[in-house]
Amino acid sequence: MERVSTGIKGLDEIIGGGFLKGSTTFLTGPSGSGKSIWSMQFLTMAALESDESGIYIPFDETTRNITQSSCNFDWKINDLAERNKVVIYRLKPVDLHNFDPDKIENNLLNRLASVIKKIDATRLVLDSMLPIMLRMQDEPHKFYAILQYITDATKEVNVTNMLLAPQMGCSLCETALKVAADNIIELSFEPKGNSFVRCFSIKKMKGLDHPLGKQCFSIGKKGITVDPGKKFI
């Protein structure tokens, strides 16, 4: 099956070439752990290196914030946005307010599908699922139905996607997200001396062999980098 880059070169090597094309990755971890940066890098690297187009939906970040913070990295984000290679598609709060899981085909998921078609997107990021999860915490079965819709619809059109959410402990919506996703990557802060190091661990990769354990990473001018020489700890 065809592989696509995770956006992080060291990781692609570790897992034998990247994510499976059309797969859904649940990227989780505490606030500030690097989820948004990774997901934006997932889009920008694909645009810069393979001329792919991607869509970033900032459910709980303002467009201005994400564009501004992406300018800190060597990603040429403004140029990519101008050329529709990375489209930041902002859904207004009213879209979420009107969100009705019983009418999936008539609301935002349908609109999403039309944007994917319009720019011929191969990648999609939803940052983050938290507002929907909070809204549906008493209706996890409906949230699961939405997830199944997203994973099936993206697989059908080969759009590799990342769904982001912080860790919420034992929430049923979080469990649904873990079950529905093909891949789960957890970011963490690991104590080292009187400080912390950034790490990620792969908790699930359907159909692929992958290492277990924690891999350190850093955030610098190029975004997130992993040293493949440094083994999982």
Binding site for ligand ATP (CB under 6 A): 29, 31-37, 69, 72, 166, 219
40 vs 202 by CB, closer to Mg ion: 40
Taking alpha carbons only, the member of 80, 164, 161 closest to residue 123 is 161
Contact between 39 and Mg ion by CB under 5 A: the answer reads no
Question: Which of the ranges 3-11, 35-43, 44-52, 62-70 carries the binding residues for Mg ion, by CB under 5 A?
Answer: 35-43
113 vs 219 by CB, closer to Mg ion: 219
Asked if residues 26 and 38 have their Cβ atoms less than 8 Å apart, the reply is no
For the CB of residue 28, give the shortest distance to ligand ATP in the complex, in Å.
Answer: 9
For the CB of residue 206, give the shortest distance to ligand ATP in the complex, in Å.
Answer: 23
What residues form DSSP beta bridges with 126? 57, 163
157 vs 219 by CB, closer to ligand ATP: 219
Question: Which of the ranges 15-23, 29-37, 83-91, 108-116 carries the binding residues for Mg ion, by CB under 5 A?
Answer: 29-37
20 vs 126 by CB, closer to Mg ion: 126
Question: Which of the ranges 33-41, 88-96, 107-115, 139-147 carries the binding residues for Mg ion, by CB under 5 A?
Answer: 33-41
Show Cβ contacts of residue 227 under 8 Å, excluding neighbours closer than 6 positions: 10, 216
Count of chain residues binding Mg ion (CB under 5 A): 2
Q: What are the C-alpha distances in Å from 185 to residues 11, 40, 83, 86, 131?
A: 11, 15, 30, 23, 20
Point out the residue whose Cβ comes nearest to Mg ion: 36
6 binds, among ligand ATP, Mg ion, none (CB under 5 to 8 A by kind): none
From 5, 28, 36, 44, residue interacting with Mg ion (rule: CB under 5 A): 36
Asked if residues 61 and 44 have their Cβ atoms less than 8 Å apart, the reply is no
What region, left, alpha or beta, does residue 150 occupy, with left being phi > 0 and alpha being psi -120 to 50 degrees? alpha
23 vs 33 by CB, closer to ligand ATP: 33
DSSP class of residue 74? S
Show Cβ contacts of residue 45 under 8 Å, excluding neighbours closer than 6 positions: 5, 7, 8, 75
Is residue 115 within a helix (H) or strand (E), and if so which, with residue range? helix 108-119
